[in-house]
Amino acid sequence: SLNAVEKMRLADFDAAARPIDLGALAPRRAAALGAGASGRVSAAAEENVVVLGDEALLARVVDNLVGNALKFSPPGSPVRVGVARRGREALLTVADEGPGIPEAEREKVFARFTRGSGTGGVEGLGLGLSLVSEVVTWHRGRVAVRGTGGTGSLFEVVLPGFRDAPPGEEGDAGHDPRR
């Protein structure tokens, strides 16, 4: 909601953020959302992809991206959620086989009250992707959308990783990139 975004903007990230295992959170949210979607949602995640953040807000990012993918894709088409490490960053992806977003609109769809031209009469206010963008920015990350080479969209959320090395490697104990 807009109220949650405004509260988030006022919060101090460094004081509020906690380690969150995105590799566990995203598949959990995907399973919850996919339960009512006839098995359309699948998730593949690396283990221990830890980011610093707010779990409820990051869950909202996954919920909004998966919800949009389900809403704008043909019935029965798959929605794929992925979480992986990319260097020192965490990558969350949501891919669908919907109408896609024209290249000229890909940056604009993250603005408040903006809807893509391919919404096909599906109701909405144009707030979901703006909320995603604002939450990701607050988490010191970035979000983008691109085509999948045919139909569909691929949303990519990149967040700073919490740990420089996978758990268990020497030198990682107690490492906090905020210090």
pLDDT in tens, 29-88: 999 998 877 779 999 999 999 999 999 999 999 999 999 899 888 888 999 999 999 999
Give the per-residue pLDDT at 54.
93
| Burial status of residue 132 (CB atoms within 10 A of its CB: 0-12, 13-18, 19 or more) | buried
pLDDT per position as a tens digit, 20-29: 999 999 999 9
Residue with tokens 């210090």: 179
Q: Is 0.75 topped by the overall pTM?
A: yes
Quick check: 104 pLDDT over 90?
Answer: no
User: Do you know the residue count of the chain?
Assistant: 179
Pick the residue with more confidence: 179 or 149?
A: 149
User: What is the rounded distance in angstroms from the CA atom of residue 83 to the CA atom of residue 81?
Assistant: 7
The predicted model gives 5-23 an average pLDDT of 84
Please, what is the end-to-end C-alpha distance for the chain in angstroms? 32
Q: Is the per-residue pLDDT at 136 higher than 90? A: yes
- Which pLDDT belongs to residue 148? 66
Copy the structure tokens of residue 77.
């088409």
Is the pLDDT confidence value at 125 over 50? no
